[in-house]
């Protein structure tokens, strides 16, 4: 599977609880924090929900 690097580029202030919870579930705490994941359908769903707050790169 492909590796995906996710970076939080915008704050979660003003977002609904479900968006904040999704960002927290991804392990992103502060702006510019990064995590690397294995690509999966469940991950793609999470990324789509918070796409306006993150930057996604293929590693």
- Read off the pLDDT of residues 15-37 as tens digits, 9 standing for 90 and up: 999 999 999 999 999 999 999 99
- Mean pLDDT (the chain, rounded): 96
Confidence at residue 35, expressed as pLDDT on a 0 to 100 scale: 97
Confidence at residue 39, expressed as pLDDT on a 0 to 100 scale: 95
* pLDDT above 90 (res 50): yes
Eight-state DSSP code of residue 7: E
Q: Which residues contact 14 (CB under 8 A, 6 or more apart)?
A: none
SS3 at position 28:
coil
Q: How many helices (H) and strands (E) does the chain have?
A: 2, 3
Task: Please state the pTM of the whole predicted model.
Answer: 0.92
SS3 at position 44:
helix
Q: Which fold has domain 3-58?
A: Ribosomal Protein L30; Chain: A, (3.30.1390)
* pLDDT above 80 (res 1): no
23 and 12 in contact (C-beta within 8 Å)?
yes
From the CB of residue 28, how many other CB atoms can be counted at a distance below 10 Å?
A: 21
């Amino acid at each position: 599977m492909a590796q995906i690097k996710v970076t939080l580029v915008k704050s979660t202030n003003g977002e609904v609880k479900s968006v904040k919870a999704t960002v927290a579930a991804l392990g992103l705490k502060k702006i510019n924090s990064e995590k690397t994941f294995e690509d999966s359908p469940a991950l793609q769903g999470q990324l789509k929900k918070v796409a306006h707050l993150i930057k996604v790169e293929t590693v």
